Chain A
Amino acid sequence: MTTLTMTTLDPRSRAARRGMSDLAIRNLFIIPTIVFLIVFNIFPLLYSLGYSFTDFRASTNAPWNFVGLENYRTLLNDPFIWNNFAITAKYVIVSVTGQVLVGFGVAMLLNREIPFKGLITTLLLLPMMLSMAVVGLFWKLLYDPSFGIINYALGLGRFEWLSNPDVALYAVALTDIWMWSPFVMLLSLAGLSAVPKHLYEAAAIDRAGPLYTFFRITLPLVAPILMIAIIFRTMEAFKTFDLAYILTSQPTTEVISIRLYKMAFQEWQTGMSCALAYIMLVMVIAITNIYVKYLNKVKER
């Protein structure tokens, strides 16, 4: 079937003179990618699925046994794992909500004629372009109780941002909001500038107040693209590792990825950690699907 849709090779081209057919050229381009995907993605994925049904430990040479669904049963009955999930959920909600509010708000502010608009937008995008590890190290300094600039600026004295177990998760979320709000802002800005100006004029003529205009015109028109931003950010926040790992090591900030890392590379429970990774994968797919369903509904309206 694919050959039918392909354009045929120009008979005068160099490739044709070397006796290469359309099919040969297609394979030349596609096979390396497919090989790469199989070796580095599909194979480990399936291999780890196999491991998740065993008690294999990568740290020993001891023979491994097939344990069936035992790993999954243990994990799903483990209250500590559920606690990790609860922490992750809290983190996702706080961080994504914060990003949407800040990002969309800034986009609303930028969506008008202001001097140096392009420069301001570019500068606002900078946090997004930094490396996670760098951001983590920066914010660790900013949050420092004795010489951090945040405590100095807010006059909080020696407030413990990262070692206070009640605050640490919010501190990590705050860093994430700082870093990723620009992403939401960028997408919102694209959505906002696509709203035709004459609709706002019509609404002004129809004597709609600013709030009414926002909820009846702006928001419904920006909703689909905002949904996409939320999907991306939720997926990312769900699998957050580096930021939380670098910033703090409180038990209250042990999101599921950190638990997984510890299980796999500190406790060397390879089989068990593979099972956990699969549970996470299923969860991310499920959440994304809910969003996509909702997105399609929003688009249809």
Chain B
Amino acid sequence: MAHIELRNVTKTFGGKAALKNLDLEIADGQFFVLLGETGAGKTTTLRIVAGLEKPDDGTILIDGVDVGGWGAAERDVALVLQQYSLYPRYTVRENLEFPLKSKIRRVAPAEIQERVERVARTLRIEHLLERKTDRLSGGEMQRVSIGRAIVRKPRVFLMDEPLSALDAKLREALRTELKRLQITLGATFLFVTHDQVEAMSMGDRIGVLDRGRLVQVGTPSEIYARPTNTFVARSVGSPPMNLLDGAVRDGAAVTEAGFSLPISVASAHEGRPVTFGVRPEHLRLDPEAPAKARVHDIEDHGVEKIVTLATGDAFVRLTAPATQHPRIDESVGFSWNPEKIILFDRTSGRNLSAA
């Protein structure tokens, strides 16, 4: 297993910068998730670690050794891609054997057999071993592709959105399975995704990428509770954090949406244009509250309701317990937990309390 470090990595494609001075450290045995939108440079980072792409600048260290000049084969990493990349015309067994049969490693036939069978058992694909890969469903294909990665016991697992092409139910099942696998193997995982639910539920640590820059690295709860800027605040959490422009006056938040509620943080920001960030669960419906709004939409999720309020020209989302029954177009009062309000700088989007 291995420790991975990227120092000051820059990569451009035809004059367009894909990664800008990226620093990244992944501890041994960690499940690290890179979260970002399409084109943020997630896959590029992964391919650079794998050795399929050479960075223009910067160094890559695996276990403290500079692997910049090494090819993909020498780095001893495993890669699982979204498009499965199983070898066509071979059976599942032959696909799983493939990495073991290479001349470089020379594994005894008996051991190959044993390892393939153990992997098949772990991933529950034993009954598929003799089947051709083009006769498999998407979920089965992705299992085989993960199996081909783990059969080799590589130092690092790299996964490029392996679950994106699967349907919701299967995705959930494989998510748990992958996490369990990582714990049993104790392996270092670098997992790339654009799905914040995947990132939050699987990652030991998450790195949020925005246009080639790493904006924040932290545990899921850190990222969720203390986003460094509005970009991170928007990309993590479902429903997303409410972001409201306004200013602090006399210890209260005066929003441009037309309501004013108390806050407990930093009077140092008096008068300055800021953006208030508040998670939906820190807002509640409160008939006595001074802030009034109209109910715009209600999503009933059973255990709770997600209520969208229209106030001024802004929308505010909050979660309400199933016991409350607001009606659409009803006028309601709402308040928030003054402790949980995050202040962002209006122009830079930076978190003011973190600084």
Contacts and interface: CB of A to CB of B under 8 A. Distances in A.
| A is bound by B | yes
Interface of A: 196, 198-199, 201-209, 212, 216-217, 220-221, 301
B79 A209 contact: no
A198 B103 contact: no
A283 to B, nearest CB: 32
B102 A209 contact: yes
B77 A209 contact: no
B102 A202 contact: no
Among A198, A206, A220, the most chain B Cβ lie within 10 Å of the Cβ of: A206
Among B71, B89, B103, the most chain A Cβ lie within 10 Å of the Cβ of: B89
A204 to B, nearest CB: 4
Interface stretch (B6-14, B80-88, B274-282, B291-299): B80-88
Given A201-B72, A207-B73, A212 B102 contact: yes
A201 B105 CA distance: 18
Interface of B: 50, 52, 71-73, 76-79, 81, 83, 85, 87-89, 98-99, 101-105, 148, 152
A107 B83 CA distance: 26
SS class, residues of chain A in contact with chain B: helix
Contact of B99 (A198, A206, A221): A206
Contacts of B85: 196, 198-199, 201-202
B231 to A, nearest CB: 30
28 contacts: A196-B85, A199-B85, A201-B52, A201-B72, A201-B79, A202-B81, A203-B87, A203-B98, A204-B71, A205-B72, A205-B73, A205-B77, A205-B79, A206-B99, A206-B102, A207-B72, A207-B76, A207-B102, A207-B104, A208-B98, A208-B99, A209-B102, A209-B103, A212-B101, A212-B102, A217-B87, A220-B88, A301-B89
A36 to B, nearest CB: 43
Contacts of A202: 79, 81, 85, 87, 148
Contacts of A198: 81, 83, 85
Nearest to A209: B103
Given A209-B103, A212-B103, A204 B52 contact: yes
Contacts of B98: 203, 206, 208, 216
Contacts of A208: 73, 98-99, 102
B188 to A, nearest CB: 15
A207 to B, nearest CB: 4
B161 to A, nearest CB: 13
B104 A209 contact: yes
Contacts of B72: 201, 204-205, 207
A227 B52 CA distance: 32
Contacts of A216: 87, 98
Nearest to B154: A205
A203 B77 CA distance: 12
Nearest to A206: B99
B82 to A, nearest CB: 9
Closest 3 pairs between A and B when the two form their complex, measured CB to CB = A206-B99, A207-B73, A202-B85
B152 A206 contact: yes
B81 A207 contact: no
Contact of B89 (A205, A209, A221): A221
Contact of A207 (B50, B89, B105): B105
Nearest to B152: A206
Contacts of B99: 206-208
A210 to B, nearest CB: 10
Contacts of A199: 85, 87-88
A132 to B, nearest CB: 38
Contacts of A207: 72-73, 76, 99, 102, 104-105
